[in-house]
Structure 1
Amino acid sequence: MNLNSAMRISSSGLAAERYRMDTISTNIANANTVKMPGKDAWHRQDVILAGDEDGVRIVGTTSNPDEYIEKHEPNNPYADEKGIVRYSNVDPLSEMVNMMSASRAYEANIQAFNSAKGMVKAALQIGKV
């Protein structure tokens, strides 16, 4: 593997983690949305990544099919006839943990990229007086 490959692979990791953070942010933003008549509440989204020797690629996202969170709120305009309101299945605490994980992975990819870049710069200095 040459150093340009290392930087390209790190760049693919940066793009993947950025996409993952965007998806997590969308989940958090929709954590308290309700199921409205004729529409579904937000289902938590998961990012699917695939990797090989050339780096990471984003395969796509998938909806988490877990059940909605049900709360008894008879005065809510979106409550059903039993007074139940169905909220998104997003757990904000779990999403924050996922966000921290994605952030750390992003930072690690930056470190790897900068290390490879430093090695390229050092190699270019060989033979200079």
Structure 2
Amino acid sequence: MAIERIFASMDIGATGLSAQRVRMEVIAGNLANAETTKTPQGGPYRRRMVVLRSVPPKVQFRTVLRGSIVALRTSEPGHIVPEWEREPVSGYGRGVKVANIAQDPSPFRRVYDPSHPDADEDGYVLMPNIRVLKEMVDMLAAQRAYEANAAVVQAEKEMARKALEL
């Protein structure tokens, strides 16, 4: 067994920690700007969201099979492979990464406040498209995901330590 495989799950947990840290930072920025009506671009602050994607494995499972000695074939010549079995199977995953920090395209809130310096001629102010309660729920979810990834890293460290003692 290659030494890099011993730490593969620790890498998965570490990428999860990193992704959730970025997610919490973006949510904190959204909460800090929940009342910002004027940005340097001129309009209200637009909510940002983190887009995560999985990191593809280094080696595809089918590549490993093509190099194997055993030939894989159907049991009978007329066998038709179901659609769901045609998808390629990957090797072990390598975690997640931040693919993008996108802006939420949902419309801004209009609040009637004629005394506000950014109010239009009808007395309405465009407010950021941030719902504080949703951001708080997202922050709790990100925090729990961070804690889960930290537990994975801790468990992997303990398993690696015990394996090295053998």
TM-score (norm: length of structure 1): 0.92
Query: Deviation per CA, 1:71-94, whole angstroms, max 9, x where unpaired?
Result: 111111111100001110101110
Identity of aligned residues (%): 36
1:47 aligns with 2:87: no
Query: Deviation per CA, 1:83-113, whole angstroms, max 9, x where unpaired?
Result: 0011101011100000000000000000000
Q: Is the 8 A contact 1:48 1:59 kept in 2?
A: yes
CA RMSD of aligned residues (A): 1.7
Q: List aligned pairs for 1:54-69, cutoff 5 A.
A: 54-69=94-109
The 1-side partners of 2:165 and 2:112 are apart by 69
Q: Is the 8 A contact 1:3 1:120 kept in 2?
A: yes
1:80 aligns with 2:120: yes
| Other-structure match for 2:147 | 107
Q: How many aligned residue pairs are there?
A: 126
Deviation of 1:116 (Å): 0.6
Deviation of 1:123 (Å): 1.0
Give the unaligned 5+ runs of structure 2: 56-92
Give the unaligned 5+ runs of structure 1: none
The 1-side partners of 2:38 and 2:109 are apart by 10
Deviation of 1:35 (Å): 4.1
Greater relative contact order structure (CA < 8 Å, 6+ sep): 2
1:10 aligns with 2:13: yes
Deviation of 1:40 (Å): 1.4
Structure showing greater radius of gyration is 2
Q: Is the 8 A contact 1:66 1:89 kept in 2?
A: yes
TM-score (norm: length of structure 2): 0.72
User: Where in structure 1 do 4 or more consecutive aligned residues deviate above 2 Å?
Assistant: none
Deviation of 1:2 (Å): 3.0
